[in-house]
Amino acid sequence: MSDQFGSGNPLTTTGEHNMSNTAERKAVVQEPGATPDKSWVIVTRGLKREYDMGGEIVRALRGVDLAIRRNEYVAIMGPSGSGKSTLMNLVGCLDTPTAGEYWLNGMLVSTMTDDQLARVRNKEIGFVFQTFNLLPRATALHNVELPLVYAGIGSDERKRKAKQALEKVQLEHRMTHKPNELSGGQRQRVAIARALVNDPSILLADEPTGNLDSQTSTEIMKVFEDLATSGQTVIMVTHEADIAAHARRVVVLRDGIIASDDRRSAFKEQMGLV
Ligand SMILES: Nc1ncnc2c1ncn2[C@@H]1O[C@H](COP(=O)(O)OP(=O)(O)OP(=O)(O)O)[C@@H](O)[C@H]1O
Ligand SMILES: [Mg+2]
């Protein structure tokens, strides 16, 4: 870990604390640790999520320490049930942890109320789901405008920004189409445009190609890759190794903990690390 993060390891909560000791970790989880440096868009320390299923406790996440810098492109992999979606929902501010810390852009979000969380989510997070989640009766343009409606932005500004987002995914010529008048790949492009319209700090995608054929998946991966190249921070859950190969870092979850976390040589080269 220390090689990867260098001396400013954000997963170490204070200078003196070493998180390897369980008793120490408990102590720092109760009292939040040091605020991570601004270059870290995401820092989780000892993140846990447990579900109480009428007495039986399901430990979906058992202590995840993860730090992601701005402009990283990270794939999250792991077997079914390993906690990938649970982690994405926490990182996406759709859910709150049972224990541990989550810092987003230097803000401690793990202790926020639902209202605060909703505000942070609207401003900082763009989410893309496997099932697109578009409004069936609304045009592509209106679907993309929706997050701006919630943010209280006026109609002209909304349309301008929504068009810009649709241009980013090369779909401006299908603006007036409703979802059932679009192909699967085009629907996912609309969903990506909607996720981008607020200029989020992070773009999260949970198996975004899970409902697409292989050729369309390749097209959608190209969209994510172009966004990552242009500086968008992207975190993507995928089952497929060839899709993960596009990312510059691959985090593998197993039984609710990180089993491996590898930066790819392409990323190292780009950052001048090799
Ligand atoms: N709302 C919930 N209530 C109870 N248990 C849950 C809930 N959501 C997830 N779990 C459990 O938590 C564990 C992790 O689930 P999660 O959905 O995060 O897995 P995943 O890695 O995304 O799997 P998949 O690849 O199948 O999507 C599983 O054992 C699951 O049954
Ligand atoms: Mg899942």
- DSSP for residue 134: -
Domain harbouring 24, CATH code: 3.40.50.300
pLDDT at 4 (0 to 100): 58
Determine the residue of 48, 49, 86, 131 to mutate for testing ligand 1's pocket, defined as the one with the most ligand atoms within 8 A of the Cβ atom: 86
pLDDT computed for residue 27 by the predictor = 39
Ligand 1 lined by 54 (C-beta under 6 Å):
no
Output the residue whose Cα is nearest ligand 1's atom 5: 51
**Where in the sequence is the domain holding 71, given as residue range(s)?**
2-270
Number of separate domains in the chain: 1
Supply the pLDDT for residue 265: 56
Amino acid letter, residue 87: L
Mean pLDDT by 10 residues, the chain (274 residues): 59 50 43 81 96 94 96 95 97 95 94 92 94 95 94 94 96 97 97 96 95 93 93 93 83 96 64 50
For the chain, give percent helix, strand, coil, nearest 5. Answer: 40, 25, 35
Most informative mutation of 82, 91, 94 for ligand 1 (most atoms within 8 A of CB): 82
pLDDT of residue 246: 81
How many whole angstroms separate alpha carbon 163 and alpha carbon 172? 6
Q: What is the pLDDT of residue 204?
A: 98
Angle at CA of residue 93, ends 89 and 65, nearest 5°: 70
